Structure 1
Amino acid sequence: MTDDRIVLSAEFTARPGAADEVDALITEYAATVRAEPGNSAFDVYRRAEDRDRFVVFEIYRDQEAFDAHLGAEAGRTFNAQLTPRIVEPHSILSFLTPAGRS
């Protein structure tokens, strides 16, 4: 059986003084993404050792679902609001595969 899921983490750092705004933005956006038909998980965390650092764990059913997520207007709106509030030029994505697979 193949595992077609797209699993990734996204990380970004809030600019000084913007962490609470970023928290509110990503929390609202998370509810939108979780309602997408192909989304299995969109979990948002703040690093315990650095509350300005955010980590988002995402799972999509397959590439088609992930592509639909990337093409959604809600994502463009969210990123336009997020970008001026974070240190990095955009979220840093890390695509993940299950351990024990080549």
Structure 2
Amino acid sequence: MTKTLYAEFTAREGAEGEIALLLRDYAKKVREEEGNLAFDSYTKADDPRAFWIFEVYRDEDAFRTHLKAPYGVPFNAALAPLIEEDASVLTFLEPLE
């Protein structure tokens, strides 16, 4: 079964551009992972400081491999001071089938 989630966070005032650059670089790396099926980043149309990231992995093992990727910790360390929350808020999703 696929592993699907979305992450959300709010950029600190003025950090939107820096976050967008970080996300573009990170997204390229994640999309190259063998088990990644989707990694799409969004901002809310009416609030460009609100970021949402939709992620899909082939299965739990692929997600666990993603968590161990060497670029994840540096990305999150760079992101942390740019957002209002302590970390990205993760919501795991289950398909309706």
**TMscore range, shorter length:** over 0.9
Verify: 1:97 aligned to 2:94, yes or no.
yes
Question: Quick check: which has more Rg, 1 or 2?
Answer: 1
Verify: 1:69 aligned to 2:70, yes or no.
no
Identity of aligned residues (%): 49
Counterpart CA distance in 2 for 1:39 and 1:28 is 15
Q: Which of structure 1's runs of 4+ aligned residues deviate more than 4 A?
A: none
Q: 1:43 — aligned with what?
A: 40
Q: Secondary structure in 1 aligned to 2:71?
A: helix
Measured after TM superposition, the shift of residue 79 of structure 1 is: 0.3
* Aligned partner letter, 2:77: A
Length-normalised TM-score, structure 2: 0.97
Q: Secondary structure in 2 aligned to 1:73?
A: coil
Counterpart CA distance in 2 for 1:99 and 1:69 is 24
- CA displacement 1:32-64 (0-9 Å, x = unmatched): 000001000000001101000100000000111
Q: Which one of 47, 54, 58 corresponds to residue 57 of structure 1?
A: 54
User: Any gaps of 5 or more consecutive residues in structure 1?
Assistant: none
Counterpart CA distance in 1 for 2:64 and 2:57 is 9
User: Any gaps of 5 or more consecutive residues in structure 2?
Assistant: none
Q: Secondary structure in 2 aligned to 1:95?
A: strand
Q: Secondary structure in 1 aligned to 2:50?
A: strand
